[in-house]
């Protein structure tokens, strides 16, 4: 892989379901956190789980769950409605504090993978619909924060996916044209945002969405981010 001489010079990653395995991380977190929110009231828990698309039998998010691509604010609004809470700001802070301690499961050994990309000159970033503080905490905990040139959340001032603005903010920050940038994500929100920004869009299967759902919106669908270097080589060879 020859790096910055290739077609692509910058790489933007989604976080959950892309850098971190969605089910291994967030199914376990939700199975613990949602009952806490409901204070032991089973009827409220069932209603909340139904609204969020969380299966209480399998203890996993459904593929149709709104949580997968929504911002924390949007999820907090749904939870507040079910719990009849008006303190949405406080609820969002509760969610952030809890999710910052989620049992992270990286999809691959992230540090050597990202260091390999950095050593070849690629600019790297993360854009997540999670809040910025939680994204920062997760990357720090995983020992890879310093390998990213840019970290952006839904509350960073650029909007949330599928809006292309946060993706364009990454390009502006690293001084790379969107045409020379690739976005990797596990949801259609990621891919739609990438194409709206003028970037290449790569789907990965480490979230909940399957290839049939991602493929219509993607330039390619990878099993996981470990296949990115091979894809970059292929694209470079087509020049």
- Residue 230: Cβ-neighbour burial (10 angstroms; 0-12, 13-18, 19+): exposed
* Mean pLDDT calculated for residue range 78-100: 94
* Calpha distance 217→189 (Å, rounded): 9
* Calpha distance 190→128 (Å, rounded): 9
Instruction: pLDDT band for 3, please (50, 70, 90 cuts).
Output: very low
Q: Report pTM.
A: 0.90
- Return the HEC string of 37-67: HHCCCHHHHHHHHHHHCEECCCCEECCCCCC
Q: What is the pLDDT of residues 10-28, one digit of tens each?
A: 999 999 999 999 999 999 9
Where do the structural domains in the chain lie, given as residue ranges?
3-21+106-237, 24-99
* Calpha distance 117→113 (Å, rounded): 7
* Calpha distance 217→190 (Å, rounded): 9
Q: What is the pLDDT of residues 109-155, one digit of tens each?
A: 999 999 999 999 999 999 999 999 999 999 999 999 999 999 999 99
The CATH number, out of the four listed (3.40.50.1000, 3.40.50.1100, 1.10.10.10, 3.40.630.190), of the domain defined by the range 3-21+106-237? 3.40.50.1000
- Specify the pLDDT at position 5: 46
């Amino acid at each position: 892989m020859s790096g910055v001489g290739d077609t692509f010079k910058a790489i933007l990653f989604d976080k959950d379901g892309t850098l971190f395995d969605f089910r291994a991380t967030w199914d376990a977190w939700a199975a613990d956190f949602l009952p806490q929110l409901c204070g032991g009231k089973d009827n409220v828990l069932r209603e909340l789980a139904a609204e969020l698309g969380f299966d209480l039998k399998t203890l996993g998010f459904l593929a149709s769950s709104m949580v997968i691509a929504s911002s924390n604010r949007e999820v907090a609004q749904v939870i507040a409605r079910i719990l009849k809470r008006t303190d949405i700001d406080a609820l969002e802070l509760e969610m952030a504090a809890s999710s910052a301690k989620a049992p992270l499961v990286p999809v691959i050994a992230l540090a050597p993978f990202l260091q390999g990309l950095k050593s070849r000159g690629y600019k790297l970033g993360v854009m997540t619909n999670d809040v910025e503080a939680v994204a920062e905490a997760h990357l720090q905990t995983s020992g890879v924060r310093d390998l990213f040139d840019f970290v952006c959340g839904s509350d960073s001032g650029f909007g949330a996916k599928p809006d292309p603005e946060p993706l364009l903010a990454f390009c502006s920050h690293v001084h790379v044209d969107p045409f020379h940038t690739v976005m990797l994500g596990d949801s259609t929100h990621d891919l739609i945002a990438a194409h709206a920004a003028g970037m290449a869009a790569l789907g990965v299967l480490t979230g909940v969405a399957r290839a049939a759902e991602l493929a219509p919106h993607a330039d390619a669908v990878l099993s996981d981010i470990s296949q990115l270097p091979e894809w970059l080589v292929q694209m470079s060879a087509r020049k």
